[in-house]
Structure 1
């Protein structure tokens, strides 16, 4: 995997996301309650703090939990909730080691259908239905992973020509469109709740 990604809006962080399946999964895991760029810069920050330029599922899973939480908490913190996200990242890496030999790309490389791939993604710690569908759409739209029925399995996130999630961000312009979509959706949800 060596793809041009622009989710972090930072050349080094995006380069890591484009070549490391584990970095892409960790970035997606971090993508909640923080700006997308912050979330997807997290894997690069973690790699640098661990003394390298890549992530290794075995090393992260085996890392002392308190030390790993401290590593994510260093300023600037990797996430708004660095302690809980450190735990989630270690759970994800432990699952990858146990079920895929630590090879994150194996999660999708052998999937025969979009439904099977969605099931594999939903089985990952920290990946619910929505996060799994967004990541499936990211795989299909930007990373060329397109098993039969991938768009349908990704739901609305798989639709072509949309700007609703990280799957649709290819630069600053599309990031602005995704942000506008999310603000409109939030405003619509608020007005729907009003009596």
Structure 2
């Protein structure tokens, strides 16, 4: 059923700015992108703990967790990957409107899709964080055994093996998890956020 012409945007009584005042901090998206095993979720969750301890309302959206619910109907074809990121982008925008900091940990392999999410948000609301780690290192870690399954042909269209990963062209920050510890990466992120008055 076609509904596009029968729906109208309803303006909310409480704006994003009011919610930011109530929360006493800016709201924005930290978009972690990188290969499986690069450390995206680990860094996102550690940063979330630090933000929480400093009174900053935040929430982590993790790729695997989202596929258990909101996106459980999607596979890993290119079109499904695009839809996966589109939905997360829209959810992230809602979190920003609610006045919170949203941390997303998704491989999000395509530059076009990451740019689409950026375009949904205003200036100073999207921070692309490239969690850079050589595939050899990611594969040696293989925390979920996915690379082994992909190499064995049990997982098709696996990013970095038989599906491409497009490195970010101009990310706000690059974290090199093969060179720095999780704590050091979080410290680098905090320095970035504080130096630019995000927190």
Q: TM-score, normalised by structure 1?
A: 0.31
Q: Which structure has more helix as a fraction of its residues? A: 1
Q: Which structure has more strand as a fraction of its residues? A: 2
Rg: which structure is higher? 2
Q: TM-score, normalised by structure 2?
A: 0.31
Higher RCO (C-alpha 8 Å, min separation 6): 2
